[in-house]
Amino acid sequence: MGIASKLDHLHYQARRNRWLQYFAVFNRIGLAAGFLPSGFVKIMGERFTTLSNNHPMGRYLEAFHHTGFYYPFVGGMQMLAAIMLLIPQTATLGAVIYFPIILNICILSLGVCFDGSLLSSPLMVLANLYLLCWDYHKLKYLLPFHSASLRQELPQSGERLNRFPVKFFAGVVLGIGLVMVSIRFGYTIKPHNTITDCVRQCADSANPEACQQYCDCIHTQGQPYEKCVEMYRKAIQ
Protein backbone atom coordinates (compact mmCIF):
# COMPACT_ATOMS: atom_id res chain seq x y z
CA MET A 1 0.00 0.00 0.00
CA GLY A 2 1.49 3.35 -1.09
CA ILE A 3 1.57 6.59 0.86
CA ALA A 4 -1.48 7.94 -0.96
CA SER A 5 -3.53 4.83 -0.18
CA LYS A 6 -2.45 4.84 3.47
CA LEU A 7 -3.43 8.49 3.88
CA ASP A 8 -6.75 7.89 2.12
CA HIS A 9 -7.48 4.99 4.47
CA LEU A 10 -6.44 6.96 7.57
CA HIS A 11 -8.58 9.91 6.51
CA TYR A 12 -11.55 7.67 5.80
CA GLN A 13 -11.33 6.09 9.24
CA ALA A 14 -11.06 9.51 10.89
CA ARG A 15 -14.08 10.76 8.98
CA ARG A 16 -16.15 7.87 10.33
CA ASN A 17 -15.57 8.98 13.93
CA ARG A 18 -18.33 11.22 15.21
CA TRP A 19 -16.15 12.72 17.96
CA LEU A 20 -13.49 13.79 15.49
CA GLN A 21 -16.22 15.48 13.50
CA TYR A 22 -17.37 17.31 16.63
CA PHE A 23 -13.76 18.37 17.23
CA ALA A 24 -13.56 19.77 13.70
CA VAL A 25 -16.69 21.85 14.34
CA PHE A 26 -15.23 23.01 17.66
CA ASN A 27 -12.01 24.11 15.93
CA ARG A 28 -13.92 25.96 13.23
CA ILE A 29 -15.90 27.93 15.81
CA GLY A 30 -12.86 28.55 18.00
CA LEU A 31 -10.69 29.78 15.15
CA ALA A 32 -13.47 32.02 13.87
CA ALA A 33 -13.89 33.51 17.34
CA GLY A 34 -10.17 34.25 17.41
CA PHE A 35 -10.14 36.29 14.20
CA LEU A 36 -13.49 38.10 14.22
CA PRO A 37 -12.67 40.64 16.98
CA SER A 38 -9.10 41.38 15.84
CA GLY A 39 -10.18 41.61 12.21
CA PHE A 40 -12.99 44.02 13.08
CA VAL A 41 -10.61 46.27 15.03
CA LYS A 42 -8.29 46.48 12.01
CA ILE A 43 -11.15 47.29 9.64
CA MET A 44 -12.14 50.13 11.97
CA GLY A 45 -8.56 51.41 11.76
CA GLU A 46 -7.84 51.06 15.47
CA ARG A 47 -4.92 49.47 17.29
CA PHE A 48 -5.84 46.27 19.08
CA THR A 49 -3.15 46.39 21.78
CA THR A 50 -1.86 48.96 24.27
CA LEU A 51 1.75 47.80 24.15
CA SER A 52 4.50 50.36 24.53
CA ASN A 53 6.40 51.17 21.34
CA ASN A 54 9.57 50.19 23.20
CA HIS A 55 8.32 46.59 23.27
CA PRO A 56 9.43 44.65 20.15
CA MET A 57 5.87 43.59 19.35
CA GLY A 58 4.56 47.06 20.16
CA ARG A 59 7.05 48.61 17.74
CA TYR A 60 5.97 46.18 15.03
CA LEU A 61 2.26 46.74 15.63
CA GLU A 62 2.70 50.51 15.62
CA ALA A 63 4.39 50.32 12.22
CA PHE A 64 1.74 47.84 11.03
CA HIS A 65 -0.98 50.24 12.12
CA HIS A 66 0.48 52.94 9.84
CA THR A 67 0.57 50.94 6.60
CA GLY A 68 -2.40 52.64 4.95
CA PHE A 69 -5.11 50.41 3.52
CA TYR A 70 -2.97 47.29 4.05
CA TYR A 71 -3.92 47.29 7.74
CA PRO A 72 -7.72 47.09 7.21
CA PHE A 73 -7.13 44.71 4.29
CA VAL A 74 -5.52 42.18 6.64
CA GLY A 75 -8.43 42.67 9.02
CA GLY A 76 -10.86 42.06 6.19
CA MET A 77 -9.10 38.83 5.24
CA GLN A 78 -9.19 37.71 8.87
CA MET A 79 -12.94 38.31 9.06
CA LEU A 80 -13.50 36.67 5.67
CA ALA A 81 -11.59 33.55 6.75
CA ALA A 82 -13.49 33.46 10.06
CA ILE A 83 -16.92 33.79 8.43
CA MET A 84 -16.08 31.16 5.81
CA LEU A 85 -15.04 28.76 8.58
CA LEU A 86 -18.51 29.09 10.11
CA ILE A 87 -20.22 28.10 6.85
CA PRO A 88 -19.88 24.35 6.12
CA GLN A 89 -19.82 24.84 2.34
CA THR A 90 -16.89 27.30 2.52
CA ALA A 91 -15.06 25.93 5.58
CA THR A 92 -12.25 24.38 3.52
CA LEU A 93 -11.45 27.60 1.69
CA GLY A 94 -11.72 29.46 4.98
CA ALA A 95 -9.11 27.14 6.52
CA VAL A 96 -6.81 27.67 3.52
CA ILE A 97 -7.07 31.47 3.82
CA TYR A 98 -6.72 31.32 7.61
CA PHE A 99 -3.53 29.25 7.67
CA PRO A 100 -0.90 31.69 6.27
CA ILE A 101 -2.28 34.49 8.45
CA ILE A 102 -2.15 32.55 11.71
CA LEU A 103 1.21 30.98 10.81
CA ASN A 104 2.67 34.46 10.33
CA ILE A 105 1.23 35.56 13.69
CA CYS A 106 2.65 32.45 15.35
CA ILE A 107 6.19 32.92 13.98
CA LEU A 108 6.08 36.61 14.90
CA SER A 109 4.91 35.84 18.46
CA LEU A 110 7.64 33.24 18.95
CA GLY A 111 10.25 35.51 17.37
CA VAL A 112 9.66 38.38 19.82
CA CYS A 113 8.40 36.23 22.74
CA PHE A 114 5.05 38.05 22.90
CA ASP A 115 3.03 36.83 25.88
CA GLY A 116 -0.30 37.84 24.34
CA SER A 117 -0.21 35.10 21.70
CA LEU A 118 2.80 33.01 22.69
CA LEU A 119 0.56 30.09 23.68
CA SER A 120 -2.62 30.74 21.70
CA SER A 121 -1.07 31.20 18.25
CA PRO A 122 0.74 27.81 18.13
CA LEU A 123 -2.48 26.13 19.29
CA MET A 124 -4.41 27.95 16.58
CA VAL A 125 -1.89 26.77 13.98
CA LEU A 126 -2.40 23.18 15.16
CA ALA A 127 -6.19 23.61 15.08
CA ASN A 128 -5.94 25.01 11.55
CA LEU A 129 -3.76 22.08 10.48
CA TYR A 130 -6.37 19.71 11.89
CA LEU A 131 -9.05 21.32 9.73
CA LEU A 132 -6.84 21.07 6.65
CA CYS A 133 -6.27 17.39 7.40
CA TRP A 134 -10.00 16.94 8.01
CA ASP A 135 -10.63 18.13 4.46
CA TYR A 136 -7.74 16.09 3.07
CA HIS A 137 -10.05 14.59 0.43
CA LYS A 138 -10.41 18.06 -1.11
CA LEU A 139 -6.78 19.13 -0.82
CA LYS A 140 -4.91 15.88 -1.49
CA TYR A 141 -4.46 16.59 -5.18
CA LEU A 142 -2.00 19.35 -4.28
CA LEU A 143 0.39 16.70 -2.93
CA PRO A 144 3.00 15.13 -5.24
CA PHE A 145 2.07 11.49 -4.59
CA HIS A 146 -1.37 12.05 -6.11
CA SER A 147 0.07 13.12 -9.46
CA ALA A 148 -0.95 9.83 -11.10
CA SER A 149 -4.60 10.48 -10.27
CA LEU A 150 -4.32 13.99 -11.64
CA ARG A 151 -2.77 12.80 -14.89
CA GLN A 152 -5.80 10.62 -15.51
CA GLU A 153 -8.05 13.69 -15.32
CA LEU A 154 -5.91 15.90 -17.57
CA PRO A 155 -5.71 15.81 -21.40
CA GLN A 156 -2.88 13.71 -22.82
CA SER A 157 -0.19 15.16 -25.09
CA GLY A 158 -1.91 13.85 -28.22
CA GLU A 159 -5.15 15.62 -27.27
CA ARG A 160 -3.65 19.10 -26.98
CA LEU A 161 -4.64 21.81 -29.46
CA ASN A 162 -2.13 23.94 -31.37
CA ARG A 163 -4.46 26.88 -31.95
CA PHE A 164 -2.98 30.07 -30.49
CA PRO A 165 -5.40 31.61 -27.94
CA VAL A 166 -5.38 35.17 -29.28
CA LYS A 167 -8.21 36.45 -27.09
CA PHE A 168 -6.67 35.01 -23.94
CA PHE A 169 -3.24 36.60 -24.46
CA ALA A 170 -4.87 39.85 -25.55
CA GLY A 171 -6.60 39.79 -22.17
CA VAL A 172 -3.24 39.12 -20.47
CA VAL A 173 -1.64 42.11 -22.21
CA LEU A 174 -4.65 44.27 -21.38
CA GLY A 175 -4.51 43.18 -17.74
CA ILE A 176 -0.80 44.01 -17.49
CA GLY A 177 -1.45 47.36 -19.12
CA LEU A 178 -4.27 48.19 -16.71
CA VAL A 179 -2.06 47.36 -13.72
CA MET A 180 0.78 49.54 -15.07
CA VAL A 181 -1.57 52.47 -15.77
CA SER A 182 -3.21 52.12 -12.36
CA ILE A 183 0.15 52.15 -10.58
CA ARG A 184 1.43 55.05 -12.71
CA PHE A 185 -1.57 57.33 -12.32
CA GLY A 186 -3.31 55.92 -9.25
CA TYR A 187 -1.17 57.88 -6.77
CA THR A 188 -1.13 61.66 -6.51
CA ILE A 189 2.29 61.46 -4.91
CA LYS A 190 4.69 58.66 -4.00
CA PRO A 191 7.31 58.42 -1.23
CA HIS A 192 9.79 56.51 -3.45
CA ASN A 193 12.78 54.80 -1.84
CA THR A 194 15.00 57.84 -1.15
CA ILE A 195 14.39 61.50 -0.46
CA THR A 196 16.28 62.38 -3.65
CA ASP A 197 13.88 60.35 -5.79
CA CYS A 198 10.94 61.71 -3.82
CA VAL A 199 11.91 65.37 -4.35
CA ARG A 200 12.50 64.74 -8.06
CA GLN A 201 8.75 64.41 -8.62
CA CYS A 202 8.03 67.78 -7.03
CA ALA A 203 8.82 69.74 -10.20
CA ASP A 204 5.68 68.29 -11.81
CA SER A 205 3.58 68.54 -8.66
CA ALA A 206 0.55 70.81 -8.30
CA ASN A 207 2.24 72.29 -5.24
CA PRO A 208 6.05 71.80 -5.30
CA GLU A 209 6.50 73.22 -1.80
CA ALA A 210 3.88 70.87 -0.34
CA CYS A 211 5.54 68.00 -2.21
CA GLN A 212 8.91 68.79 -0.63
CA GLN A 213 7.29 68.98 2.80
CA TYR A 214 5.74 65.57 2.13
CA CYS A 215 9.14 64.09 1.24
CA ASP A 216 10.66 65.64 4.35
CA CYS A 217 7.76 64.26 6.42
CA ILE A 218 8.44 60.73 5.14
CA HIS A 219 12.22 60.51 4.85
CA THR A 220 13.52 63.04 7.41
CA GLN A 221 10.90 63.18 10.16
CA GLY A 222 9.83 59.53 9.80
CA GLN A 223 6.15 60.35 10.27
CA PRO A 224 3.43 57.77 9.48
CA TYR A 225 2.64 57.45 5.78
CA GLU A 226 -1.05 58.34 6.06
CA LYS A 227 -0.25 61.44 8.13
CA CYS A 228 2.13 62.75 5.47
CA VAL A 229 -0.36 62.01 2.69
CA GLU A 230 -3.14 63.79 4.58
CA MET A 231 -0.89 66.81 5.12
CA TYR A 232 -0.10 66.95 1.39
CA ARG A 233 -3.74 66.63 0.38
CA LYS A 234 -4.74 69.50 2.65
CA ALA A 235 -1.95 71.64 1.19
CA ILE A 236 -3.08 71.19 -2.42
CA GLN A 237 -6.77 71.78 -1.75
Rounded CA separation 68/229 (Å): 10
The tens digit of pLDDT for each residue in 24-62 reads 999 999 999 999 999 999 999 998 777 777 778 888 998
The tens digit of pLDDT for each residue in 183-209 reads 888 888 888 888 898 999 998 888 899
H helix count then E strand count, the chain: 12, 0
pLDDT of residue 117: 87
Across the range 97-116, mean pLDDT stands at: 92
| Beta strand extents in 50-197 (DSSP E only) | none
Q: How confident is the model at residue 136 (pLDDT cuts 50, 70, 90)?
A: very high
Residue 155, pLDDT above cutoff 70:
no
Rounded CA separation 105/75 (Å): 13
Q: Is the pTM of this model over 0.85?
A: no
Mean pLDDT, the chain, whole residue set: 88
Residue 89, pLDDT above cutoff 60:
yes
DSSP secondary structure letter of residue 158: G
